[in-house]
Structure formats: C-alpha cells, structure tokens
Amino acid sequence: MKKKLNILVIGSGGREHALAWKLASSEECGDIYCMPGSDAISRAARVTGSMAGFREIAAFAAGKDIGMVFVGPEAPLAAGITDTLSSEGVRVFGPCREAARLESSKSFAKEVMDAAGIPTPSWESFDSAPEALDYLRKTDPLKIVIKADGLCGGKGVVLPGSRSEALSAVEGLMRKKTRGEAGSRVIIEERLEGDEVSVLAMVNGNDWSFFPVSRDHKPVYDGDRGPNTGGMGAFAPVFPAEGEFLREVEKRILSPLAGELLERGINYTGILYIGLILTPSGPRVLEFNVRLGDPEAQAVLPLMESDLLVSALGIMEGEAPRLKFREGACVDVVLASGGYPGSYETGFPIYIDKEKIPGDLMLFHSGTRFDDGRYFTAGGRVLNVAALGSTLEEAREKAYRGADAVSFRGKHFRRDIGKGRYKSCRKQ
C-alpha cells in the first residue's frame, strides 16, 4: 500500500481552515497538522497552538515525518520559510524568499513588471520623506494611490481624498513609522477606475494552471461603500466564460512575468495571486501576492475537483500543474463583529440554527474560539459562510440562508456578495 503523506499547514485564519479541510480530503493525506491553527481547525487537523521559528518547524517536521509544508500567509514566505526548511530537507509548497519579494516589496514587483512590459499603473518610488511630500504638493491627490513598499497586512494602501490626507499618509508612513519599516519606502502610483478581480494560479516556473477568476469585496458596506476591510466575502467564477480573459492574462502578464523571473534566476513555485483592475485597454496589474487570497481561497477551494495535495506535490516534483474545477459557482459571505473594521468587542457566543442551515454549507472560521462546548467570537472577521450552487444565484441563496442562520451579538455582513457578476472581461 502506498504510504500516505503527513502534512503541515502554516497559518490560523479562514483561508487556512479551508486549506486544511481541502488537504485533509485527499486520499493521499496521512496526519495533518496546523501551526499555530485555531480551535476550529483542530476539527480537521492537529493544531500546535503556537508558532515556532523556522529551525524549530524543520525539527517538528522531521519529528512528525511531514512530507509537505503548505504555507498559508505571506509573512513566513517573505521571511524565507521555504529557503530555511528546504535547506533542512523539508519539502515546502510556497515560493522562496526572493520570489516572495513580488509581494513583500512593491517597488521590486513594479520594477519586474516594467522590465517584462507587464501593464500596470505608472509609479514613482520614494526613500526620502521630503521628496515624497514635495511630489505630493505638485500632484492631484485624487489621481494617485499611496502604498507602503513592505508588508502591512492589507493596511498599507491609501487613496487620498485631499492633499492634506495625502501628505499626512506619507508623514505617517515615512516619518511616524505607523507601519514600521514597511513604510520606509513609499510608492505613489496612478489611480485607475475599474472593477477589480483576483486571478490565482498554481505556478511551476514556466508552467501554470489557473483557478476560476474570483472577486473579493473589500469595503465594509453594500455597494462598495465604507472603509476597507480584510475582505467581506468573495465569489467565483466572476465571468460566465473566462477562457478568452485568461488567455489575455497569460499572454500579457503571466508569461512575461515567468520569463523575467527565470532570467533573474528565480524559479517561481507555489500560488501566484494577480490582483487586476479591468480598464478599457485591458487588465492592468495592481499587485502580486505570493499565496492564496483570503477570502478568495474560501470561494475557490470548494470548487476544486483536483486533489490539492497531489497537485502541490506534483509541482515540487517538477510537474506542470493541471487543475480541474467543477461547474457552477461558490459564494463566501464573511460574518463580522459589530464595529469591524473599526474597534469591536469579542467573546460573544455564536448560535447556529441547524434546522435552517443548508446541509452542504461550509463554515470556515476566521476569528472564533471554542470554550465549554460552544464557539465564541474572537476576531473582527468571525466566520465565512460558503456555499456551492449550480448557478451563482443558487450559491448566493444558500450562502445567505446560512448567514441568516448564524447569530452572535453585533453580527454584520454584506448582502451583495456575488452580485454584479461581470458580463464581459472588459470595462464597457
């Protein structure tokens, strides 16, 4: 009998809950661990409860006979988890530190895009606060976006509404160090209008396979109003027919990117997330991330027919990825704590009306804890309620039936996740 593979997932949020659930469904999966994990993830995997340094993770992997480490979030990738563990003989699914700079340094990503001729908003980079402030005094604040160069957990992007807002954003990032060293360098880029979509691909150097195109809903209120959040929900697929769109992404973005990286000696392996804005002249890249999106993962993994473990393993053995997805759609609605993304309270009991919840609904936990036989809220984003349907409308109806069947004090969520699917791949 073929030996099953023990797996270690790194992370603790809704994305990692979905990852642990998907990996555990593989016939090839032996014991599955998650570091640090969460109470909810402990239903699918053995959780460690705390995060260790990379050398300790390598020792843990050796002790538990881990055949593959799957890294959920960007921070360990940017800090070189893949490089350290690989040097200790542990197989890791996720790009090396140099490749992870596509996410951990916006100026690096822009430089690579310019060198490869990839369409992206025009940009300037500043290492000096006086020079950045001087530039802002001569620029229309409504036509720019200010970004911290480094990782800020989604909190390093400002779309200023006035010159004083623009100046204080740069003061905050570069002088007051509100985002630490991540804001020592700042990128100021052209602001574009258009719909945004997330294109995820499993990549092995010059080969790749796409996930269905998905969309995250960042602003807190319906109709994309209010402050940005970590994501209030996602759905996939975004386009009724995405073949032509993905061929364009391949030709104009992924193929030149892979070529440019290989020329620089970087063989990208892992998940690549391409954040796109749709403009009249075609898609342009707003950002690259080096992992699955959260909450996009909670919408695309349930659609995946392929075995994620086998596909990831294949990449590490040099195979070209070939992912398959089921027909239909998935909608993931995030239930958040009252006040989120501002200040919020936690510790409220979560009730689920089992009579009303659709049988095949998936609940991926982002911020909960289990105590005395029940779950309590423990974060800003609390639960992901994900549902599959043969149509987007059916998936929406089920997801919202599920969202209504869950209650906790202060619960709020958007009612329009999955609405407004794009008819075409170009902005009209």
Binding site for ligand GLY (CB under 6 A): 154, 216, 231, 289, 293-294, 296
Give the Cα-Cα-Cα angle 88, 89, 95 (nearest 5 degrees): 90
Shortest Cβ 31–ligand GLY spacing (Å): 28
What's the DSSP call for residue 81? H
Separation between Cα atoms, residue 339 and residue 181, nearest integer Å? 28
Cβ pair 10, 292 in contact under 8 A: no
The nearer residue to ligand GLY, 84 or 104, going by C-beta atoms, is: 104
Residue with smallest beta-carbon separation from ligand GLY: 293
Q: Using omega within 30 degrees of 0 as the cis cutoff, is the peptide bond preceding 76 cis?
A: no
Runs of H (alpha helix) within 222-266: 243-249, 255-263
Neighbours of 59 (CB within 10 A): 14
**Greatest CA separation for the chain:** 70
Shortest Cβ 153–ligand GLY spacing (Å): 9
CA dihedral 137, 138, 142, 145 (to 10 degrees): -80
The nearer residue to ligand GLY, 293 or 321, going by C-beta atoms, is: 293
Shortest Cβ 171–ligand GLY spacing (Å): 26
Give the Cα-Cα-Cα angle 307, 308, 311 (nearest 5 degrees): 85
The nearer residue to ligand GLY, 217 or 411, going by C-beta atoms, is: 217
Runs of H (alpha helix) within 91-242: 97-104, 106-116, 129-137, 163-170
Shortest Cβ 289–ligand GLY spacing (Å): 5
Separation between Cα atoms, residue 313 and residue 311, nearest integer Å? 5
Among 229, 246, 362, CA closest to 304: 362
Shortest Cβ 75–ligand GLY spacing (Å): 12
Shortest Cβ 216–ligand GLY spacing (Å): 4
SS3 content of the chain, % helix, strand, coil (to 5): 30, 30, 40
Shortest Cβ 357–ligand GLY spacing (Å): 25
